[in-house]
Structure 1
């Protein structure tokens, strides 16, 4: 069976490669604009499904994985910072606070779809502006929701991570993905 990851994210590509299945990647070319009033978990679900559907329409013979992650602080979504100033601002706002990350995944072929949602709570330790600046300058997490890479130096920013699946925080919940792939008939260990 043919498998496609509907993503241009190198993080998701690296994660999916851990399952040792052959797959391709294609850009989903989906507008990722949030809908006003939409809760962050719903945004993640909607975008994961839209990404999978967009590629599935172009590649009807393949199973397609779409995934999206939205960080939430005080009920508001935090996007990718895009640059240094925004990353410093996000991390300053999250200092000594808890942030929830909703990571959604959809597996689709034609009209057959499977969905999963992982929720991860990240508890940040109190961070000084100097610590934040050192971190941002060292890792440059400008393409990451929440302005950190938990798989890298970002781990030093936390007091705790509460999750069922540690890969979800990186961008693709592999425990859920493996379960969805098994439902679709893929042979996994």
Structure 2
């Protein structure tokens, strides 16, 4: 394989360790820079609109500081019957979220945006993931939360861990989207921005 070094630096505009670990799967050199912005929902804003807006806002905020770079921004919002479900932050809030989602179908909207200020490239996409939660008992919820403590995850569940036991089914065309970054769509956007993951590998190695 002919491997070239990237003509532009790649930056992940996120403080999420989950997104960093996912992007590492593409084996490209990148830096991480967390944007500082208000992530509050606007009046009348649907969950899918919130996810798309925040993903783009994160990418744009970092791109302003690093105009030469290709910047990835991402956001995930769980949608329970039109209600946005974000990160619980606390045990009590996580209990409330899982109790509300018990037996319900929840759509996780995982948005990704790629921006390069210098080239003028700006595009985004959304990977919806439909998750059917099992009917959960209070004991199951408590046991799960005490074991995994997923308080930094939208919807209070880590599907890549023990959280999979909370679920009846997952429907998605982008397998990593539920964890926090849809890598199929991310790769497509990076190619459009001029950075092909299969032509630019970490440390310039084809291994």
1:25 and 2:35 are equivalent in the alignment: no
Report the alpha carbon displacement of residue 36 of structure 1 after superposing the two structures with TM: 1.3
String of CA shifts for 1:109-156, please: whole Å, max 9, x gaps: 013112111100000011100000000000000000000100000000
Report the alpha carbon displacement of residue 188 of structure 1 after superposing the two structures with TM: 2.3
1:136 and 2:154 are equivalent in the alignment: no
1:122 and 2:126 are equivalent in the alignment: no
Query: Where does structure 1 differ by over 6 angstroms across 4 or more consecutive aligned residues?
Result: none
Please give the alpha-carbon distance, in whole angstroms, between the structure 2 residues aligned to 1:13 and 1:64: 13
String of CA shifts for 1:49-84, please: whole Å, max 9, x gaps: 100000000000100000001001111101110111
- What corresponds to 2:201 in structure 1? none
Please give the alpha-carbon distance, in whole angstroms, between the structure 2 residues aligned to 1:123 and 1:78: 15
Bigger-Rg structure (1/2): 2
Q: Looking at both structures, which has the greater relative contact order when contacts are Cα pairs under 8 Å and sequence separation is at least 6?
A: 2
1:72 and 2:79 are equivalent in the alignment: yes
* Aligned pairs, number: 189
String of CA shifts for 1:146-183, please: whole Å, max 9, x gaps: 00100000000000000111211111000000111111
Structure 1: stretches of 5+ with no match in the other structure: none
Structure 2: stretches of 5+ with no match in the other structure: 1-7, 199-207
State the TM-score, normalizing by the size of structure 2.
0.90
1:147 and 2:185 are equivalent in the alignment: no
